[in-house]
C-alpha cells in the first residue's frame, strides 16, 4: 500500500499498547487540546499521536519536551508528526492509522478521533469496546442506507470493475468517519479503506477535497463514503452504535461530535442564542473540558466564554428555532 510521506517531530520510544491518534491543521488545535483533556479526564494513560500540517499548537509552550521528543500530559504522552502531503487530511486517515501500526507506534490497539470530538465516559468502556472488533458510530444524516441503495450499487459496480468481486457482507447502515477504533489484528480494514480512497480518486475525486458538490454524486464526503465501502469488503468483525454514540440523539454516553463548520471554539454564543440557536450539549461539554491539563484558553478568556455559554443556554429556554 502506498503511503504518504511525512516527517516525524518525535521519536517514539517505547511504543505503546494503546494509542489514540488524530489529524489537525489551523485552529483545530483548540479542539485537539480539549479532546486530549477529555481523554485524560476519562482515564486514558497511553500515547496520543497527532498528525499535523502547518504549525504546532501555540499551547505546546506550556509543556516540557522529553529527551525522546514526546511531551508529558498528565499520565499520558503526546507526540507529533508533521504531514507534508497536500492531500486533504480526511483522505489520509487510513494511511495515517496504518503507518502507526506498521511503525510499531501502536502495538495492540488504536483509536482515531476527529479533533472536534470530546469523550464523555470512562476510558475503560473504550478498551472493552475495541476488543469486539472495528468500532464505528452510525451517521445521523442518512444513517440508514439500505444494502440496495443506489449509491451502494454504484460503489459495488466500481469495486467489481477494479477486480474486488462481491462484498463480504451487506450493510444497512451508514457510519461516520470521525471515530474509528480497532486492534492490530483487524488492520485489514484500514487497507481496504485506503484502497477504496484510491478508487474514489480514480473516479475523479480530487485529492485535496473533503466534500463534493452534492450527495447525489457517487462520492460526497470522501473519507466517509470510502470508509463505508470498507465496512462492506473487509473481513474483520464490526462493533457499532447508533447516532446516539456521537451525541446527536438522546441516549448516548460515549462522545460528542461537533460536526459542521461552526465549531465550539468559533461560535458567538450570545448572538446565536438570540437567533434561536442555543449551545448544544457538545458545546457545553467542550467548555467543561477546556481547562486542564492542557490550557488552550487564557483563564480570563475561558471565564468569559463559560459565562457566555451559560447565558446563551438560559436564553435558549425561551428562544429556540
Q: Where are the domains of the chain?
A: 6-246, 261-316
Using the Cα atoms of residue 64, residue 48, residue 84 and residue 210 in order, give the sign of their dihedral.
negative
Q: In the chain, at which residue ranges do the beta strands (DSSP E only) sit?
A: 6-8, 16-25, 47-53, 71-73, 76-83, 106-113, 117-119, 134-138, 175-183, 238-241, 255-257
Segment 230-251, tens digit of pLDDT: 999 999 999 999 999 999 999 9
Segment 138-187, tens digit of pLDDT: 999 889 999 999 999 999 999 999 999 999 999 999 999 999 999 999 99
Provide the β-strand partners of residue 81: 8, 51
d(CA 34, CA 248): 19
Segment 185-231, tens digit of pLDDT: 999 999 999 999 999 999 987 765 666 778 899 999 899 999 999 99
Q: Tell me if residue 56 falls in helix, strand or coil.
A: coil
Q: Percent of the chain scored above 70 by pLDDT?
A: 94
Please tell us whether the domain made up of 6-246 is placed in CATH 3.90.550.10: yes
The predicted model gives 61-69 an average pLDDT of 92
d(CA 73, CA 130): 24
Q: Tell me if residue 212 falls in helix, strand or coil.
A: coil
- Which range, of 19-28, 63-72, 146-155, averages the lowest pLDDT? 63-72
Provide the β-strand partners of residue 49: 21, 79
Q: Percent of the chain scored above 90 by pLDDT?
A: 86
Amino acid at each position: 500500500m502506498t503511503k504518504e510521506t511525512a516527517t516525524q517531530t518525535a521519536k517514539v520510544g517505547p511504543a505503546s499498547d494503546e494509542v489514540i491518534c488524530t489529524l489537525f491543521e489551523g485552529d483545530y488545535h483548540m479542539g485537539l487540546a480539549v479532546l486530549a483533556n477529555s481523554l485524560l479526564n476519562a482515564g486514558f494513560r497511553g500515547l496520543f499521536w497527532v498528525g499535523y500540517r502547518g504549525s504546532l499548537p501555540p499551547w505546546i509552550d506550556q509543556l516540557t519536551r522529553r529527551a525522546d521528543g514526546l511531551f508529558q500530559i498528565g499520565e499520558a504522552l503526546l507526540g507529533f508528526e508533521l504531514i507534508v502531503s497536500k492531500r486533504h487530511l480526511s483522505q489520509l486517515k487510513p494511511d495515517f492509522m496504518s503507518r502507526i501500526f506498521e511503525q510499531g507506534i501502536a502495538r495492540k490497539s488504536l483509536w482515531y478521533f476527529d479533533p472536534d470530538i470530546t469523550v464523555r465516559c470512562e476510558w475503560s468502556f473504550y478498551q472493552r469496546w475495541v476488543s469486539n472488533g472495528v468500532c464505528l458510530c452510525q451517521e445521523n444524516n442518512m444513517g440508514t442506507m439500505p444494502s440496495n441503495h443506489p449509491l451502494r450499487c454504484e460503489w459495488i459496480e466500481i469495486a467489481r470493475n477494479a477486480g474486488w468481486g462481491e462484498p463480504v457482507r451487506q450493510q444497512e447502515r451508514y457510519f461516520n468517519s470521525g471515530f474509528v477504533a480497532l486492534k492490530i489484528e483487524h488492520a485489514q480494514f484500514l487497507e481496504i479503506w485506503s484502497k477504496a480512497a484510491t478508487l474514489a480518486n480514480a473516479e475523479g475525486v480530487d485529492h485535496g477535497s473533503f466534500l463534493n458538490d452534492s450527495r447525489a454524486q457517487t462520492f460526497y464526503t470522501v473519507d466517509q463514503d470510502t470508509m463505508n465501502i470498507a465496512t462492506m469488503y473487509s473481513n474483520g468483525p464490526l462493533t457499532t452504535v447508533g447516532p446516539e454514540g456521537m451525541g446527536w440523539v438522546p441516549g448516548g454516553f460515549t462522545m460528542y461530535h461537533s460536526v459542521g463548520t461552526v465549531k465550539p471554539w468559533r461560535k458567538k454564543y450570545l448572538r446565536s442564542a438570540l437567533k434561536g440557536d442555543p449551545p448544544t450539549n457538545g458545546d457545553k461539554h467542550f467548555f467543561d473540558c477546556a481547562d486542564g491539563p492542557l490550557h488552550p484558553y487564557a483563564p480570563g478568556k475561558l471565564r468569559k466564554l463559560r459565562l457566555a455559554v451559560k447565558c446563551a443556554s438560559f436564553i435558549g429556554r425561551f428562544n429556540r428555532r
